[in-house]
Structure 1
Amino acid sequence: MQDIAEQLLAWHALGRPFAVATVVGVSGSAPRDPGAALAVGADGEAVGSVSGGCVEGAVYELCRAATASGEPVLERFGYGDEDAFAVGLTCGGVLDVLVQPVVPGADPALDRGLALVAAGTPVALARVVTGPAAPLGTCLTVTAGTHHGSLPRSPGAAALERAAVAGARAMLEAGRTGRLVLGADGSPCAEERHGGVTLFVESYVPAPRMLVFGAIDFAAAVVRIGKFLGYDVTVCDARPVFATARRFPEADRVVVDWPHRYLDSQLDLLDGRTVLCVLTHDSRFDLPLLERALRLPLSYVGAMGSRRTHRERAAGLRAAGLTEAELARLRSPIGLDLGARTPEETAVSVAAEIVAHRRGGGCLPLGAGDGPIHHDRPEDGGAIGDRAAGDGAAGARPAGGRGLR
């Protein structure tokens, strides 16, 4: 929802009702991840996407109906063998979509959540998608220090709400979006249980950081593709004649400093989503930087250079005391073997390796295999109701099935 938050807040500020359809469960070869959203305003204007086109029309109509009725709905879209081109996913996957009407002022917790998302404040929106403990769409807005909204008061509800807030806060700290399944007593569950609740938690955190060390021509191309992938990008180089905003207009910041010293100054702002691209291939800069970087819990650390440079660099890092396990985290020479020559081609190679590392891709041509195109990530959760799968692949129901309402 974060990518369409600006439009949602504009509608909200004008007091206009709208409906938001959010992907809350995915299995199989579905086109969008959990959290993808489509919103439809009172005048019929649509923003965002939940499927890349497969079921957009049907979801649009559900949004219009939800705005008129004021009632949320949970809908499953799957693949129907009897009519592959009916409303559904011809790719064979399954999407669970929560369609929720929003009337400004009617739900203070959701109102507050939308405002925090638009302001860029780290926040988790936890909405009920199944379970008798609370109505569909009930929202808890959770930040690092407080929360807004509540579950309906009933025996055991206080413990369940505390667990929901704690679970959503933990997911916010990790930057995760996915399902949170709790028993009636608030205990975490692997699957839904009678009396419990399943919430879909959307974590909205600042963009992940990409640190590009080495203000060279290849860096400019890496900056551009890093921004395209949604990173907050910094270029750092100790040489002021090269590290200029004019040379890197698309970078969020250009820093003149020794790489290792700048890294040391950023420790509180780095996390498990941060990627480092070391393009200097100069041991004066590389070794002290990589000695620190490979000991941090970062997502990706890659370094440019020839195979000879890599061997010499690895030897220097071993001499500095790095273990083989720490050295194994270094992606060097940086990027995938695409036969890249130009800075732009090299940037594609680097970006491809970053995406493959993040998503668990095998780096093979898609045509070379016969498995799923999209890699399911356990932390994002599968389609709601997968535990009851028994009729069809991944528990899929025919397209447009109404069984989850």
Structure 2
Amino acid sequence: MREIAERLQAWTAAGRPFALATVVSVTGSAPRGPGAALAVDGGGEAVGSVSGGCVEGAVYELCQEALRSGRPVIQRFGYSEEDAFAVGLTCGGSVEVLVQPVRPGAAAGLAAGIAAVAAGAPVALVRVVGGPEPLLGAALAVTAEGHHGGLGAERLERAAVLEARALLAAGRTGRLLLGGDGRPCGGRAADGVALFVESYVPPPRLLVFGAVDFAGAVARIGSFLGYRVTVCDARPVFATRRRFPGADEVVVDWPHRYLAGQAAAGALDGRTVVCVLTHDAKFDIPLLEAALRLPLAYVGAMGSRRTHRDRVARLRDAGLTEEQVRRLRSPIGLDLGARTPEETAVAVAAEVVAHRRGGNCQPLAAGNGPIHHNA
């Protein structure tokens, strides 16, 4: 929902009713994951997507019906071999979609969640997707400090807030099954209330060190992938906003000092990606020594194989363990035969995505396993 939150917030502020369709469950292969959303306002305008096209028309009709009836609904879409013309997913998977009307002044939990997502604030949006019919679509917006909305039962609501806060702290989206008294149901779906929890946290960070020509292309593709991008270099003549318009921020500082400051401030986490493009040992080694000691998602460095061997020797001399040294992705990127900065940026981004999602970096045509991975 993140990509349409600002539009939904604008509709809410203008008092425009709309229906929101959200993917709350995925089985097998599907074009979009849990949390993908499509919204339709009272005038028929649509934003977002739940399937990349397979079932958009049917979901659009469900949204219009929800606006007319005022009632939420859960609909499952899957592949049907019996009826080739049935609405479904051509990829063979199945999705469950929650469609709920949102009217001005109502749905306080959902409205608060949309506002938080639009503002970029951390929030877990909790919605009832199974259980007693009167609860379907009931929503909570949970933050680290409090919550908005309600689920109609105090003990259930209290348990849902605690569980959602834990998922928010981990940056995870998932489903919960709780009894009406808030206790875990142990998988007995018929006895409980199913909750879908979407965690929205600030975007992951991409730190690009070295204000070289390749850095501009890496910054642009990092922004395209949803990262908050920082370009850092100790040389003010190169580290300028004009040279890196695709970055969220450009910093003039010694790379290792900037990284240490960000770590001390708690601004880095297990999703942070570090790309070292400086080609200069006096910058690279202190920076890599610090980065490889931190629990970051990915640390890569540009350079030849000879440069890599020299780096590894220096890092070992600096006291890094073999496990820490093995975390270094160098030479950076996948072997795509890249030469230009833009091609190199694609190679780097491909390795980052593969590392994040658990991809094996082989052509999809070369295998017969699942297309989508869960790392």
Q: TM-score, normalised by structure 1?
A: 0.89
Q: RCO higher in 1 or 2 (8 Å CA, sep ≥ 6)? A: 1
C-alpha separation in 1, matches of 2:180 and 2:367: 43
Q: Report the secondary structure of 1:15's partner residue.
A: coil
Instruction: Report matched runs for 1:2-401 at 5 Å.
Output: 2-132=2-132, 135-153=135-153, 157-158=154-155, 160-188=156-184, 191-267=187-263, 268-376=266-374
- Same amino acid, percent of matched pairs: 73
Q: Report the secondary structure of 2:145's partner residue.
A: coil
| 1:260–1:285 contact (8 Å) kept in structure 2 | yes
Structure 1 residues 42, 262: CA separation in 2 closer, same or farther (over 3 Å shift)? same
C-alpha separation in 1, matches of 2:34 and 2:210: 36
Cα root mean square deviation, aligned: 1.5
How far off its partner does 1:287 sit? 1.2
Q: Report the secondary structure of 1:346's partner residue.
A: helix
Q: Report the secondary structure of 1:347's partner residue.
A: helix
How far off its partner does 1:325 sit? 1.3
1:265-310 per-position Cα deviation (integer Å, ceiling 9, x unaligned)? 1121111111111111221111111111112121111111111111
C-alpha separation in 2, matches of 1:134 and 1:337: 55
Q: Report the secondary structure of 1:266's partner residue.
A: helix
How far off its partner does 1:141 sit? 0.7
Moved over 6 A (4+): none
How far off its partner does 1:150 sit? 2.3
C-alpha separation in 1, matches of 2:252 and 2:186: 49
| 1:183–1:194 contact (8 Å) kept in structure 2 | no
Query: Unaligned stretches of 5+ in structure 1?
Result: 378-405
C-alpha separation in 2, matches of 1:314 and 1:104: 60
Q: Report the secondary structure of 1:59's partner residue.
A: helix
1:29-88 per-position Cα deviation (integer Å, ceiling 9, x unaligned)? 100011110000000000000000000000000000011111111111100011234200
How far off its partner does 1:183 sit? 4.1
| 1:133–1:196 contact (8 Å) kept in structure 2 | no
C-alpha separation in 1, matches of 2:329 and 2:370: 26
Structure 1 residues 294, 183: CA separation in 2 closer, same or farther (over 3 Å shift)? farther
C-alpha separation in 1, matches of 2:54 and 2:290: 46
Structure 1 residues 189, 238: CA separation in 2 closer, same or farther (over 3 Å shift)? farther
Q: Report the secondary structure of 2:135's partner residue.
A: coil
How far off its partner does 1:102 sit? 0.4
Structure 1 residues 140, 307: CA separation in 2 closer, same or farther (over 3 Å shift)? same
C-alpha separation in 2, matches of 1:85 and 1:294: 53
| 1:84–1:90 contact (8 Å) kept in structure 2 | no
Q: Report the secondary structure of 1:289's partner residue.
A: helix
C-alpha separation in 2, matches of 1:237 and 1:28: 44
C-alpha separation in 2, matches of 1:166 and 1:150: 14
How far off its partner does 1:193 sit? 3.9
| 2:107–2:138 contact (8 Å) kept in structure 1 | no
| 1:184–1:194 contact (8 Å) kept in structure 2 | no
Structure 1 residues 77, 236: CA separation in 2 closer, same or farther (over 3 Å shift)? same
| 1:78–1:88 contact (8 Å) kept in structure 2 | yes
1:102-150 per-position Cα deviation (integer Å, ceiling 9, x unaligned)? 0121122222222222222111110011123971111011001101122
What residue identity is the alignment partner of 2:228?
A: D
How far off its partner does 1:190 sit? 6.2
C-alpha separation in 2, matches of 1:296 and 1:106: 45
Q: TM-score, normalised by structure 2?
A: 0.96
1:319-360 per-position Cα deviation (integer Å, ceiling 9, x unaligned)? 111111111211111100101111110000000001111111
How far off its partner does 1:187 sit? 4.2
How far off its partner does 1:185 sit? 4.7
| 2:185–2:191 contact (8 Å) kept in structure 1 | no
The equivalent of 1:385 in structure 2 is: none
Q: Report the secondary structure of 2:197's partner residue.
A: strand
Mean alpha-carbon deviation: is it higher for 279-288 or for 56-65? 279-288
Q: Report the secondary structure of 2:279's partner residue.
A: coil
The equivalent of 1:403 in structure 2 is: none
| 1:223–1:251 contact (8 Å) kept in structure 2 | yes
C-alpha separation in 1, matches of 2:228 and 2:134: 38
| 2:15–2:104 contact (8 Å) kept in structure 1 | yes
Q: Report the secondary structure of 1:83's partner residue.
A: coil
How far off its partner does 1:180 sit? 2.3
| 2:128–2:137 contact (8 Å) kept in structure 1 | yes
Alignment size in residue pairs: 373
Q: Report the secondary structure of 1:199's partner residue.
A: strand
